[in-house]
């Protein structure tokens, strides 16, 4: 316990107004101490670092609550049109630092905590990262919630409150090992449970049809089982505005969690069996779906959160006295990929079966409400569910999908007579073997707008996986290039750079990222360049220290930090990066005097538990790194580091310290990417293909400030059509052959020639992602990168331009386009009488309202 903290400690409540809303240093210090005593229930003598973090979190949450409650009240009174963002993932990252930035009190709170003798950064590090997402899909959803609040757009994020995240990754002997991600083990101070708004969700059973007294056809679903969905709300605060929107996540619970009669019979497990079974629904993000049981659980998860969310929206509609027919005027639902695509069938079920709308009116309502974002160009990544499983789990929805499909195929027949192949491709049911429901087709049919997430991606959607739907519904298609929030990815992640920029142009650029271009006149200035360079070096030293502390490996901060951090997947081509490293290693072993630019190669990312090839790529990278890092002949010119458990917390340390951003996916496979944007915003230069948003980033920063290599998407398609033979590249390229043979010899696997054989066999005989074809172009481009890095002044100039020309890649721009072109929704600013209104005033207003309601 620090002397300062002990001296300030007094377990006496401060004036409530200051305790709950004050932002002076004195008020913050007293509020912290009050939270420690009255919320954590700990005297200073017994408090842990986690207790200090929780006290700080509750201090901050107190200062958010007036905005949060006022926002909800304003939306209710105004009956504001609301964006509902449906996503199976919300990779939020730690809340504390981000909330301090958005409230504009980061510096005050830091000072208050440090005056109490505590380490502010250590308290920030105490926060468990919410395990609610895996990769880009979930992080995009989080950035969009930040921008919706910052732009003062009424919104609700709807998803699942996973008890355990994807997994905690450890690296043992070079292999990925999955450990349970217990992110909720110490509680979550940011969420508020709302059990009074619980929703019942049905599964299984059968349906019964009848004609009522009015001659109307009706269907009654008799479920086999039901579960409760309990909402947990988290405030999402906008940047320096009064708006605090809501992320509403659903936890599954049993309708009856304890059977007293069964317990008294001595069947103690049976008494809680329903509780265990029900709660399994929201236990884990993305259960392994290789088994039928895994597939069923994943489908149950998707339907569960969609059904809860739609029922909740009807609850809101009723509370605001809005007629059912005006559902699409009140709500705009965005489907973040196909995971929530079951929303169309569930919305139809609710409208037709529960609210008794005519089918045609219900279908019109559904189509006016839903919009669909596609995130993949790979047909195998578009979700499909076996009809047998779907019908067993959701019998009423299968009937509804059959009806939607029947009416839709009639439309296709009218537009394209006698085109049976087109009918088969566009049908919501895949009849080619075992029958499947195509969720992307369902989303396309039932949505008023379909968007890709980068210009290239949107064009390729029209030409490939959704070509038939584009030809039928060209008016539905548009592009919405992804963006990321500069509040987290610059202001919070790179405080040194943020302070430097603020000194030159103020801080309004954080709400209008395009203002960074005001710095372009300074890009050539030697003093400005030196300041920029010193900031980059400082962040690299920070990361070097972490690497040394974690791995015992000394990394030279002056070396080129060459970084590839993202989900491990063959199309993202981490193994192409590895081949370059092996080539450099081999050249240095053959010629120790060869001049190469010293490099530190940094990798990070998780492989799906059932994706063996991705796990083997992780093993290859670590095996190569193990050999290189201990080879004295290399004189520390090369270092290879695999940082385990890549997540938001770790990425915030990596992006600011990176010199080179590896965006090397096969052209035509990456939908957009958002890591590429975060790297560039922090001054890293990109080596990449013309894939996803790389195309637009290159246009924005300038072709001279981007390292381009590889085949284009058109060339990839053409080469495959001509009969691509990867082994020919191996036979004709001595550097490539040497790298492949070195792996095959067991050099990196302690003589085991079989370990990496699956990777090599696939590269030599199939190579679906064209590594062999792009290898030499990549090697040549990397040579250009190394030469450029040695030209320190020009590299810094390019780094500056990469950062300050990224204004178009703010998620604020993305959300503004969604609002204008898809959702048709406007900002609804929240006006507070006084954002620091006293507790006494709030209590007085509440008493008046209660009297009014009673009267």
Catalytic residue among 396, 397, 488, 566: 566
- At 743 the three-state DSSP class reads helix
Question: Please, what's the largest Cα pairwise distance for the chain?
Answer: 93
* Tokens 């380490």 sit on residue: 119
For 5: left if phi > 0, alpha if psi spans -120 to 50, otherwise beta; the answer is alpha
Looking at 572, 615, 639, 813, which residue is catalytic?
Answer: 572
Q: Six-digit token pair at 840?
A: 């006494």
Annotated active-site residue 251? The verdict is no
Q: Answer yes or no: are the C-beta atoms of 132 and 88 closer than 8 Å.
A: no
Report how far apart, in Å, the C-alpha atoms of 34 and of each of 9, 38, 44, 64, 535 are: 9, 6, 11, 17, 38
Catalytic entry in 674, 686, 689, 796: 674
80 closest CA partner among 255, 281, 330: 330
Q: Rounded CA gap, 691 and 464, in Å?
A: 15
Which residue pairs from 501-510 have beta carbons closer than 8 angstroms and sit at least 24 positions apart in sequence? 510/239, 510/486
Q: Which helix (H) or strand (E) holds 122?
A: helix 120-125
Which residue's entry shows tokens 């039901």? 226
Cα atoms found within 13 Å of the Cα of residue 188, Cβ hemisphere only: 23
Q: Does residue 204 come out as left (phi exceeding 0), alpha (psi in the -120 to 50 range) or beta?
A: left
* Residue 674 annotated as catalytic: yes
Any catalytic annotation for residue 566? yes
Catalytic residue among 678, 698, 805, 813: 678
- According to DSSP, residue 206 is labeled E
Under 8 Å between Cβ of 654 and 678: no
Helix, strand, or coil (residue 435): coil
Q: Which residues pair with 438 in a beta bridge?
A: 384
| Pair of tokens at residue 504 | 């030159």
CA dihedral 668, 673, 675, 680 (to 10 degrees): 70
Cα–Cα–Cα angle for 331, 334, 339, rounded to 5 degrees: 130
Burial label for 197, CB within 10 Å (0-12, 13-18, 19+), is: middle
CA distances in angstroms from 30 to 17, 109, 200, listed in the order given: 12, 12, 43
Residue 127 and residue 147: Cα distance in Å, rounded?
23
Q: Is 756 helix (H, G, I), strand (E, B) or coil?
A: coil
Is residue 678 among the annotated active site residues? yes
Kindly list the distances between the CA atom of residue 166 and the CA atoms of 143, 179, 284, 509, 787, in Å, as whole numbers in the listed order. Answer: 19, 9, 7, 35, 40
State the catalytic residues. Answer: 375, 566-567, 572, 674, 678
């Amino acid at each position: 316990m620090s002397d300062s903290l002990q001296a300030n400690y007094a377990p006496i409540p401060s004036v409530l107004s200051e305790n709950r809303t004050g932002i002076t240093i004195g008020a913050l210090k007293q509020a912290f101490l009050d939270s420690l005593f009255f919320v954590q229930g700990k005297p200073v003598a017994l408090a842990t670092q986690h207790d200090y973090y929780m006290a700080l979190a509750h201090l901050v949450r107190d200062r958010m609550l007036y905005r949060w409650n006022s926002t909800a009240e304003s939306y209710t009174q105004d009956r504001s049109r609301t964006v509902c963002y449906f996503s199976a993932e919300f990779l939020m990252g730690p809340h504390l630092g981000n909330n301090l930035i958005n409230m504009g009190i980061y510096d005050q709170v830091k000072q208050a905590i440090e005056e109490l003798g505590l380490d502010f950064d250590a308290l920030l590090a105490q926060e468990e990262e919410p395990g609610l997402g895996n990769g880009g899909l979930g992080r995009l959803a989080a950035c969009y919630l930040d921008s919706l609040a910052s732009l003062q757009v009424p919104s609700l994020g709807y998803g699942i409150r996973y008890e355990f995240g994807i997994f905690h990754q450890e690296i043992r002997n070079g292999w990925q090992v999955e450990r349970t991600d217990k992110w909720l083990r110490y509680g979550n101070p940011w969420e508020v449970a709302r059990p009074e708004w619980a929703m019942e969700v049905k599964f299984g059973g059968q349906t019964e049809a009848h004609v009522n007294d009015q001659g109307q056809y009706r269907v009654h679903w008799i479920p086999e089982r039901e579960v409760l969905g309990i909402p947990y709300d988290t405030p999402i605060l906008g940047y320096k505005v009064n708006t605090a929107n809501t992320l509403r996540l659903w936890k599954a619970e049993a309708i009856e969690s304890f059977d007293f009669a069964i317990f008294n019979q001595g069947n103690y497990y049976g008494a809680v069996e329903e509780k265990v079974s029900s709660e399994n629904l929201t236990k884990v993000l993305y259960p392994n779906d290789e088994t039928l049981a895994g597939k069923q659980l994943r489908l149950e998860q998707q339907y569960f959160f969609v059904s809860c969310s739609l029922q909740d929206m009807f609850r809101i509609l009723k509370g605001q006295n809005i007629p059912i027919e005006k559902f699409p005027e009140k709500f705009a639902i965005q489907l973040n990929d196909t995971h929530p695509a079951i929303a169309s069938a569930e919305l139809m079920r609710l409208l037709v079966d529960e609210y008794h709308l005519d089918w045609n009116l219900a279908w019109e309502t559904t189509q006016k409400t839903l919009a669909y974002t596609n995130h993949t160009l790979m047909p195998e990544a578009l979700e499909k569910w076996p009809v047998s499983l779907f019908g067993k789990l959701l019998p009423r929805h299968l009937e509804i999908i059959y009806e939607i499909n029947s009416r839709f195929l009639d439309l296709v027949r009218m537009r394209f007579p006698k085109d049976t192949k087109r009918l088969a491709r566009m049908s919501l049911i895949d009849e080619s073997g075992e029958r499947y429901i195509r969720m992307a087709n369902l989303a396309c049919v039932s949505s008023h707008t379909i968007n890709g997430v980068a210009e290239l991606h949107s064009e390729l959607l029209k030409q490939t996986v959704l070509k038939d739907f584009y030809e039928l519904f060209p008016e539905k298609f548009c592009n919405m290039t992804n963006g990321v929030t500069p509040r987290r990815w610059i202001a919070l992640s790179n405080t040194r750079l943020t302070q430097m920029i603020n000194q030159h142009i103020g801080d309004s650029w954080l709400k209008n990222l395009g203002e960074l271009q005001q710095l372009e006149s300074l890009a050539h200035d030697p003093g400005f360049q030196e300041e920029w360079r010193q900031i980059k070096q400082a962040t690299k030293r920070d990361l070097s220290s972490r690497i040394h502390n974690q791995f015992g490996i000394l990394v030279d901060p002056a070396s080129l930090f060459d970084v590839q951090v993202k989900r491990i997947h063959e199309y993202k081509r981490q193994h192409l990066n590895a081949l370059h490293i092996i080539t450099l290693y081999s050249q240095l072993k053959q010629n120790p005097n060869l001049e190469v630019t010293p490099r530190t190669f940094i990798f990070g990312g998780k492989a799906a538990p059932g994706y063996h090839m991705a796990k083997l790529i992780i093993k290859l990278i670590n095996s190569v790194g193990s050999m290189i890092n201990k080879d004295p002949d290399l004189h520390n010119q090369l270092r290879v580091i695999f940082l385990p458990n890549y997540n938001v917390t770790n990425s915030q340390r990596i992006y600011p310290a990176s010199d080179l951003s590896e965006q090397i996916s096969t052209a035509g496979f990456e939908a957009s990417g958002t890591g590429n944007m975060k790297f560039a915003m922090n001054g890293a230069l990109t080596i990449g293909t013309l894939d996803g948003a790389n195309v637009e980033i290159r246009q924005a920063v300038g072709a001279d400030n981007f390292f381009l290599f590889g085949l284009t998407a058109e060339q990839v398609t053409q080469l495959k059509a001509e009969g691509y033979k990867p082994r020919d590249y191996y036979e004709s390229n001595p550097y490539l052959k040497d790298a492949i043979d070195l792996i095959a010899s067991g050099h990196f696997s302690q003589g085991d020639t079989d370990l990496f054989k699956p990777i090599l066999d696939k590269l030599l005989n199939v190579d679906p992602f064209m590594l062999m074809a792009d290898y030499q172009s990549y090697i040549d481009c990397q040579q250009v990168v190394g030469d450029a890095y040695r030209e320190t002044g020009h590299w810094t100039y390019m780094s500056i331009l990469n950062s300050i020309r990224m204004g178009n890649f703010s998620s604020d721009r993305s959300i503004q386009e969604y609002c204008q072109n898809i959702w048709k929704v406007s900002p609804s600013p929240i006006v507070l009488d006084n954002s620091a209104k006293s507790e006494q005033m709030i209590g007085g207003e509440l008493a008046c309202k209660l009297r009014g309601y009673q009267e």
